[in-house]
Amino acid sequence: MGRNLKFLIIGGSDAGISAALRARELDPSTAITVVLADGYPNFSICGLPFFLSGETPDWHQLAHRTEFEGIDLLTWHTAMAIDPTKNTVDVVDRENERKRLSYDRLLIATGAVPLIPEIRGIDLPAVYSLHTMDDSFGVQRRLLEASPRSAIIVGAGYIGVEMADALVHRGLQVTLVGRTRSVLATVDPELGDTVGDELRRHKVDVITNVEITAIESSKCLRVSGTNGFEQSADLVLLATGVKAASQLAVQAGISTGQKGAIQVDQSMRTNIPDIYAAGDCVETWHRVLQQYKYLPLGTTSHKQGRVAGENAVGGNRKFAGCVGTQVVKVFDLAAARTGLREQEAKAAGFKPLTVETVAWDHKVYYPGAQEMRIRVTGDIVSGRLLGAQIAGHWRSEVAKRNDIFATALFHGMSVEDFNDLDLSYTPPLSSPWDPVQLAAQAWCRKASSR
């Protein structure tokens, strides 16, 4: 490891702080500086819906950590320019004072920014996006001071469905508007419909196949869109996705790829010496596809940051890649996915087959058993597992059963291999054949009959 190295990190969220902690752990002599555009280092942005729902009433609890010994946090400073020829970064503070910081190694961990659609009226008061701590404070002030009774959420992805849950928890009448055929388009429509049904069961008005085009202000906000959609609300929340915050990197001559995300190798190095990048601003190596994709996920950001931090101080670690593992809780339902859906597998050149199974989460004679829907996608030529999706009660270990599939994908297992897994069993928690194994057996029966 190098001695007295200057390691400069732009961005203090998941990837940036993970890199700083790993570098500090491996080489305490390294001078580590983290430049933050705000004052909330390593806060859980994924926790914002639960702060706004009131389930996590104190926003300070969203901090992953509060101790940063040996790490210099430069809060409320915005990086303006990188000069790779001089190994410097220009930053500006809230008083518009400019500073020039030098580095031996630089990590760009600028994350993502909201993907704001072209909608007339999105700058009106009471129209919010939700991506930062300050965004959440704005929404919270509106909820407390204006006491809105209704809200329209534009976007039916993860944040959209979570915020529908959160605002219903706060007593609002919620309309969720998505432009796809079903909500949560990252899972198959059959499971997306299940999520939609759960939302409707809790009185959320779910509107699909509609694209919002305009927001107008009168006594409240009037929202209109395609297919004749028109509705009023006291508050509008934009949850329309994100894009890589890569402009700083582009200006420095760093290469970008899919959706403008920074191109890196598996060591998290960019095309410019001594500059690394990690987190939601970069392309991610996908283990199943064996190619880079733009797939911004918090879990991935933590791992990439750790790899970048280790390598910045002389290590030689590679990011092993991800398989796209995700889960979301919506009221009493959890929906999860990992790997490839059937159409993604086809596009990648596989011969996929998807089979759905309905199974009890534990022995039905023990009280409280709930049904789970499990969709397994495998390659009918090789028998290899390609992906899985699960929907069920949030207490049914949906996430952890999805993680079994994710682990199998990570190690390239076949669907048949699930029969050999030694999984835990007791009647209140599972069955002698766990639901994931029953789903795998159903897939194998179907595949053998083709």
CB 65 within 8 Å of CB 42: yes
How many CA atoms lie less than 13 Å away from 116 in the CB half-sphere? 12
Q: Residue 315: exposed, middle, or buried by beta-carbon count in 10 A (0-12, 13-18, 19+)?
A: middle
**Six-digit token pair at 135?**
């965004």
Other Cβ atoms within 10 Å of 216 Cβ, number? 13
- For residues 419-434, one letter each, b for 16 or more C-beta atoms within 10 angstroms of the residue's C-beta and e for the rest, the string is eeeeeeeeeeebbebb
- For residues 77-101, one letter each, b for 16 or more C-beta atoms within 10 angstroms of the residue's C-beta and e for the rest, the string is bebeebebeebebebbeeeeeeeeb
**Annotation says 46 is catalytic:** yes
- For residues 345-369, one letter each, b for 16 or more C-beta atoms within 10 angstroms of the residue's C-beta and e for the rest, the string is beebebebbbbbbebbbbeeeeeeb
CB 383 within 8 Å of CB 392: no
- Calpha distance 368→396 (Å, rounded): 10
Q: Which of 46, 220, 322, 444 is catalytic?
A: 46
User: Quick check: helix, strand or coil at residue 29?
Assistant: coil
- Calpha distance 24→22 (Å, rounded): 5
Instruction: Report the catalytic residues.
Output: 46
